[in-house]
Amino acid sequence: MTSQNSIKANLGLFGFRQVKPFDAIVVRGIIEFGILIFTMVVLAWLGAWFFALPTLPHDPLKALLVLAILFSFGLGVGFATAIIGVLYDEWAKLINTLMRPLYFISGIFFPLAALPEQYHVYLLWNPLLHGLEQFRSAWIAGYPADQTSLLYLAVWSLPALLLGLVYFRANRVRVLMS
């Protein structure tokens, strides 16, 4: 969601020929991803040092793969919401409002196993839930992520990225004019 304001926040930089709205969105996404990785490393190190817990991921390559796929999904959505944030202010407010319930149905606060079984059918339509559960299974040995699929997340991620890029490309001139 931070990509939504990336164009408005960097309007002054677009006076330079070399800086484009594409750069602002990508750099904002990379900065957010870097902050996420840095925070994970620091918290894992603090957990290992302070509490003497084994905090290294069980399958680090899978964890990185899941994070990369989630990053591409978020970048695609970020491209679309950045354009909407500039061109349609009321729609941007609606997107912010709709994103709040997404936190609860994405498994951020509660893992899938903690949610009632009868709702799993509906919750598993959310690709972010698949990503978070797969990330937990890569970090914690023996974590039950049998109902989720990394392929399902990737199948949603690629079109989200492509559609976000296409939407950005189609509206990039209108963004600079507004």
State pLDDT tens for residues 13-70.
888 888 888 998 999 999 999 999 999 999 989 988 888 888 888 999 999 999 999 9
Neighbours of 117 (CB within 10 A): 8
Residue 83 has pLDDT above 80, yes or no: yes
Residue 76 has pLDDT above 90, yes or no: yes
Q: Which two tokens stand for residue 136?
A: 């937990």
pLDDT band for 154, please (50, 70, 90 cuts): very high
pTM of the model: 0.89
Helix-helix angle 21-50:60-87, to 10 degrees: 140
Summarize pLDDT for 58-71 with one digit per residue, the tens. Answer: 999 999 999 999 99
Alpha helices in the chain (DSSP H): 6-9, 21-50, 60-87, 89-105, 120-123, 127-139, 150-177
Q: Which domain holds residue 126?
A: 2-177
Q: In whole angstroms, what is the distance from residue 178 CA to residue 174 CA?
A: 6
92 or 23: which leads in pLDDT = 23
Q: In whole angstroms, what is the distance from residue 37 CA to residue 57 CA?
A: 13
Q: In whole angstroms, what is the distance from residue 3 CA to residue 81 CA?
A: 7
- The pLDDT score that the predictor gives to residue 14 is 81
pLDDT band for 1, please (50, 70, 90 cuts): low
Residue 107 has pLDDT above 90, yes or no: no
Question: What's the mean pLDDT in 79-86?
Answer: 90
Number of domains comprising the chain: 1
Residue 114 has pLDDT above 70, yes or no: yes
